[in-house]
Amino acid sequence: MKRTLIAEKKQLSESSNHMVKLLCAFLLLISMSSFGQLKLPRLIQDGMILQREAPVKIWGWASVGEKVTLQFNNQSFNTVTGDNGKWQITLPAQKAGGPFSMEIVASNRISLKDILFGDVWLCSGQSNMEYPMNRLTDKYADIIPRCENSNIRQFKVLQVYDFNAPKDDYPSGSWVAVTPKTILDYSAVAYFFARDLYEKYHVPIGIINASVGGSPAEAWMSADALKEFPNYLAEAKKFKNQSYINQIQTSERKASYDWYAKLNQTDKGLQSRPTWKDPAFDASSWPTMPVPSYWADHGLGKVNGVVWFRREFGVPASMIGKPVRLFMGRIVDADSVFINGKFVGTTSYQYPQRNYHVPAGVLQAGKNTVVVRVISNSGLGGFVKEKPYQLFNEKDTIKLAGSWQYQLGCIMPPTPGQTFVNWKPTGLYNGMLAPANNYAIKGAAWYQGESNAERFQEYQKLLTALIADWRLKHNQGYFPFIIAQLPNFMDAKDQPSESSWAWFRNAQLKTSQTVENIALTVNIDLGDWNDIHPQNKEDVGKRLALAAERLAYHDKKVVASGPIYQSLKIKGNKVELTFNNCGSGLVVKDGKALKQFAIAGADGKFIWAQAKIEGNKVVVWNEAISNPVSVRYAWADNPEGANLYNVEGLPASPFRTDQ
């Protein structure tokens, strides 16, 4: 009996071991099968636009040593995967057109459809390139409903970063054609750029939209490119440590949570019964302040924390029981808005336009109350001037600018600083650009700089290195690269003065003059003094398209630029300036006197100058300076009134002759 039990145990043990081995083999087979499945990168999928008239790489992954066959346009192409499981096939250049289909076969088969050949543009930068059409629905209310073009497609890159190595692929993303619905997720600048190119050349236009608000240039550069910038490379190496990132993010989340918790606990407007948003609250003793304005200018001083604003108004019959719109301009920094005690909208940071929808039934006959709770995180808090503040529908408008009651809810120290990890050097390059390095492109459009403007001294070198880096990694030679120069922004000055934004624009200009196959678009007339995100994205896109027509499409008849300063001659007390890119001639835009020219003698002190156009030259002088040395034009954050243009309507770039 004992022997029988031992034998049975042994048999069970052997059987069990055999089952375990079979199970392990089965799991290994499944694992190998899964690993060996033919896989394509996200960019290679249905609906993609491939670059015409250039060799095109199609690549992916499969089992090591596996044969991969690509069938396209009645041709077959074969390769074998390498030791890393990667494969790549290069298609010969194709003419514009489509739609085409493609089949890729290995251990499994992938069929792709609706493929177009056209021109692919990499559109990158920070918030003004990222800025989506869904934030411009009022600005382009007549354009958006007509956006229907299957030949314009965007691949929007998910915002991801990596500090350890360039990514092979994107975690998500698809090629999306333009419709009135999908246009809302498009980069506005990139769409208008693509639209104008399509309307002229009638070839499909693909946009790879890789842009992140607030991102500095060094975040879009590889570790190789940053070898010239050891401080940025050292910073990038620190962020290779995930525990270091986790520590920063945990600490900052806690600090932010504690700040807002204390703010809410000490805000008298929330603790009051009734609360200050309640229409029943008696605010008759509250002082008044003009809206829009900053409260530092009206008695409260430079305090941070919460300030409540309140206003009563009547409404016409057309608004009662109906949905209406509310514009509250821009508010620094965050706001929550209540009408008759009902919440109608909130925005957590200062930059977006406040555009809220008020549901039907909120407004009532007789007296209505609007309350805005404003949180100031740091700096000046309040309402930005020269923005719309109104309640409206298709028939009536109630202006809300004017005198408002206000009360301080609580005072807080400035919010703790925040480390935007995704902006650190190499992070966005590795996560958002590297996966597209194999994808053939026509060129790149770059709208970036606000985050680097205070470091203008290094920007020419930085941008030059970025361009070289992208070209090296794409291995497509000196592909066209177009820079959108920063527009006018901030308060206008009544006297010539130094300006970091002017110096920065100069760095952009100098880069365009020293790097091969590059263009600059001037946007000095397209900004908003009170908004770092100007609303006019259509003209920015149009000027990028003009630059592309000349640079990338070699259309020499196109006037793609406004006047660019070239040289000077000093004749007595006058300075004669010569320009290129004059087009059909120089003009004063408003037909009056030229503005924003300043002149200096040997002391380097600039004063306003008179200026006049003589042919394709500008003569500049001031009778107070008998021996002029240098001239500057539009040298300011916001050179209001700068009006030197060419006949084609393109503005002159800001410049300085004191090199």
The answer on pLDDT for 3 being more than 80 is: no
Stretch 514-521: mean pLDDT: 98
Query: What is the spatial distance between Cα 201 and Cα 180, in angstroms, rounded to a whole number?
Result: 22
Stretch 219-245: mean pLDDT: 97
> Tokens representing 158?
């998910």
The answer on pLDDT for 34 being more than 80 is: no
| pLDDT at res. 21 | 43
| pLDDT at res. 18 | 46
Stretch 125-146: mean pLDDT: 98
What CATH number does domain 37-239+424-560 carry, 3.30.1050.10, 3.30.70.580, 3.40.50.1110, 3.90.70.10?
Answer: 3.40.50.1110
491 CB neighbour count, 10 Å cutoff: 11
Using the 8-state DSSP alphabet, how is residue 86 labeled? Answer: E
| pLDDT at res. 14 | 43
Confidence category of residue 492, pLDDT binned at 50, 70, 90: very high
The answer on pLDDT for 531 being more than 60 is: yes
Query: What is the spatial distance between Cα 85 and Cα 78, in angstroms, rounded to a whole number?
Result: 15
The answer on pLDDT for 8 being more than 90 is: no
Query: What is the spatial distance between Cα 261 and Cα 416, in angstroms, rounded to a whole number?
Result: 13
Claim: this prediction has a pTM higher than 0.85: yes
Q: Which fold has domain 264-412?
A: Jelly Rolls (2.60.120)
Confidence category of residue 591, pLDDT binned at 50, 70, 90: confident
Give the burial string for 213-229 (b: 16+ CB within 10 Å, else e): bebbbbbbbbbebbebb
| pLDDT at res. 299 | 86
What secondary structure does DSSP assign to 634-654, as a single string? S-SSS-TT--EEETTS-BPPP
The CA distances from residue 317 to 320, 322, 338, 339, 342, in Å, are 5, 9, 21, 17, 20
| pLDDT at res. 36 | 65
Stretch 235-239: mean pLDDT: 97
